Structure 1
Amino acid sequence: MIVLYPWGKALPSSTVTQGTPVAANIVTAASGPCLQPGQVQVGSQPAPGDKPCLTVQLRMTNGPAPGKSLQLTVPIEPSTPRFSAGDDVVLAYNGGNALDPQSFQLVDFQRSTPLVLLAALFAVAVLVLGRWQGLAALVALGLSFVVIVLFVLPAILAGESPLLVAIAGAGAIMFLALYLTHGLSARTSVAVLGTLVSLALIGVLSAIFSAAASLTGLDDATTTLIGSLGHGIDARGLLLAGIVIGALGVLDDVTITQTSAVWELRRANPSLGWRELYGAGLRIGRDHVGSAVNTLVMAYAGAALPVMLYSAISGVGLGSLLTSEDIASEIIRTLAGSVGIVAAVPVTTVLAALIASREPVDHLISTTKRAAPQQ
């Protein structure tokens, strides 16, 4: 992270003007003909063949003219949001006359309130169930976002290899999440080692097969990013970086579960050797890996659902559909991540068995007593 961080480098800014966000509230909304500034509406319905528009009366709540009213006309298209009276919305202000409607564009809804409420509900649920460990998990989650925002994004924008940045960032997130949530112990260190090995395998497999499949990584979001930057970026590296970071959460779950299972087996029967611990832990892992792989596949399938729907109505054959850029990227993302998850089970289990079998029995028993609730 120290080597890859853009020390003293000026990060690029967008060459595309996005406009300054301004909060507003829709007072009235009515559909009718599309009117240009200065035109007078004749009739309440658009002429045959003309597309309808939505005329909204807004009141700005912040920005250059808070409290001022504004009237905008928005074309009604299948791809545009449906605004109505009472909606809290976001305008894009281009810096012109604050009283001129041409200086504003209606772009989106305000979503801060429901997002904050859902985040609070999530935090309460984690704290109620996890208590102090839940608090540690929330702190680790916050630090994970800090790593992404303050290291991963600046380093990639500064021109560093997205894959190397993702591996370094994922490693930092893994250390923070695992050690903060589960404590500094041999058990956690085994999970860290298993996760590192699996992440490396996922990165290697993704790099090899994305190159073999000639994936460019130029999806709509990446194309928009390149247009905003005004210069090229390693699009395939961005794809690989997304694969590594996306697989990290499932890997943490698998490796922690395997190490916990092996340690509990050892505590339940201290006479078990490492081979017996490995065999029993592997049997537990076989059950876990099936559900974990399915979780990863469904997560990627859900994220790619619009792409799959668009491809399904395109009229091409199944073979062409599966080998298209968008679908092939998701297939490689899913399969490479799944191979890493599968490999994490035996790797983590054998490490846990070797270390747990050498832990003194007295230490196991005393640890169990400290973990037991007081009567």
Structure 2
Amino acid sequence: MNVLVLLAFILFILMILIGGKKGARSFFALFLNFGVLLFTIIFMTNPYIDPYIVTLIACTVISYINLFFINEVNSTTKTAFISTIITIVIVLFFIVIVTENAMIQGFGEEEIEELSIFSLYIGVDFVKIGASVIIMSTIGAIIDTAMAIASPMREMYHHHPSISKKELYTFGLSIGRDILGTSTNTLFFAFFGGYLALLIWFKDLSYSVGEIVNSKIFSAEMITIFCAGTGVALIIPITALITAYFLVKKGENKEKVI
């Protein structure tokens, strides 16, 4: 416990020194997001509540915290928030179809032995739970990408107010192309970092490449990466389009008032 407190204190000091007030808000946002996840788990295990609805509400609240609480309400966070919600809804439909057809819900063979003493008849739909887990794993990357595109687009428009919607949209796409590869690779290495022990276990058990690929745990994580990558790819044109429209439209309205 002392180690956790010490590490949290070090992180808090560094975030304040580097980020100032925004860094402090970012630190407290970690605990707010953790609280949202706890409530999400509580409601998601309720058989009378649809996990999809809980997931959409949780993603909306998390987006609100990470965008408006940390970065305050401005044109950048507004467009990033709208783009995030639209992308989440689109990706959710896609993930539901993939989850139902891939049948990756539930537990794999490697996990059954540890859970054999518990009853799996808990009254919840594991297909919906599986889709919700994937979308919750995707929300962080989508929010980061939305902010990474909307922020420089606002700066570009601030320095070049005469820029057209098409030019601003193209500028946003060019930024998205630069961060698309790094974002997807971040998701990929996060998987291998989190499941490195599992991969070592596969090696010790002399799993073949085919057995590893067809393992439910491995397949579920790879599908999560692909779905997250799909969300990151979709958020780029959506954010660029909404931000370009919002900024140019706002500029035109100001000119009409003047």
In structure 2, C-alpha distance between the alignment counterparts of 1:201 and 1:332, rounded to whole Å: 16
Which residue does the alignment assign to 1:306?
197
TM-score by length of 1: 0.62
- Equivalent of 1:284 in 175, 195, 202: 175
- Equivalent of 1:258 in 143, 149, 153: 149
CA contact (8 A) 2:146 2:236 kept: yes
In structure 1, C-alpha distance between the alignment counterparts of 2:241 and 2:59, rounded to whole Å: 23
Larger helix proportion of the pair: 2
- Equivalent of 1:166 in 55, 63, 67: 55
TM-score by length of 2: 0.88
- Equivalent of 2:87 in 173, 198, 204: 198
Question: Structure 1 residue 244 and structure 2 residue 140: aligned?
Answer: no
CA contact (8 A) 2:79 2:239 kept: yes
CA contact (8 A) 1:162 1:241 kept: yes
In structure 2, C-alpha distance between the alignment counterparts of 1:183 and 1:245, rounded to whole Å: 23
In structure 1, C-alpha distance between the alignment counterparts of 2:91 and 2:113, rounded to whole Å: 22
Task: Report the CA distance between 1:225 and its aligned residue.
Answer: 10
- Equivalent of 2:24 in 113, 132, 135: 135
Change (3 A) 1:353 1:225: farther
Higher RCO structure (Cα 8 Å, ≥6 apart): 2
Which residue does the alignment assign to 1:317?
208
Which residue does the alignment assign to 1:157?
45
Give, as a single letter, the amino acid of the residue that structure 2 aligns with 1:343.
Answer: L
Task: Report the CA distance between 1:229 and its aligned residue.
Answer: 7.5
Task: Report the CA distance between 1:336 and its aligned residue.
Answer: 0.5
CA contact (8 A) 2:25 2:70 kept: yes
Which residue does the alignment assign to 1:48?
none
- The residue correspondences of 1:99-118 to structure 2 (distance < 5 A) are 112-118=1-7
Give, as a single letter, the amino acid of the residue that structure 1 aligns with 2:183.
Answer: A
Q: Which has the larger radius of gyration?
A: 1
In structure 2, C-alpha distance between the alignment counterparts of 1:324 and 1:228, rounded to whole Å: 23
In structure 1, C-alpha distance between the alignment counterparts of 2:160 and 2:25, rounded to whole Å: 30
- The residue correspondences of 1:66-145 to structure 2 (distance < 5 A) are 112-145=1-34
Give the RMSD, CA atoms, in angstroms.
Answer: 2.5
- Equivalent of 1:327 in 188, 211, 218: 218
In structure 2, C-alpha distance between the alignment counterparts of 1:321 and 1:202, rounded to whole Å: 27
Which residue does the alignment assign to 1:297?
188
Q: Percent identity?
A: 24
Give, as a single letter, the amino acid of the residue that structure 2 aligns with 1:270.
Answer: P
Change (3 A) 1:186 1:334: same
In structure 1, C-alpha distance between the alignment counterparts of 2:125 and 2:244, rounded to whole Å: 41
**CA shift digits 1:141-179 (9 cap, x unpaired):** 222222222x21221232233333222112111112211
Task: Report the CA distance between 1:306 and its aligned residue.
Answer: 2.2
> SS in structure 1 opposite 2:163?
coil
Q: Which runs of 5+ in 1 are unaligned?
A: 1-111, 364-375
Larger strand proportion of the pair: 1
In structure 1, C-alpha distance between the alignment counterparts of 2:158 and 2:10, rounded to whole Å: 36
Task: Report the CA distance between 1:121 and its aligned residue.
Answer: 0.9
**CA shift digits 1:250-270 (9 cap, x unpaired):** 111110111011111111211
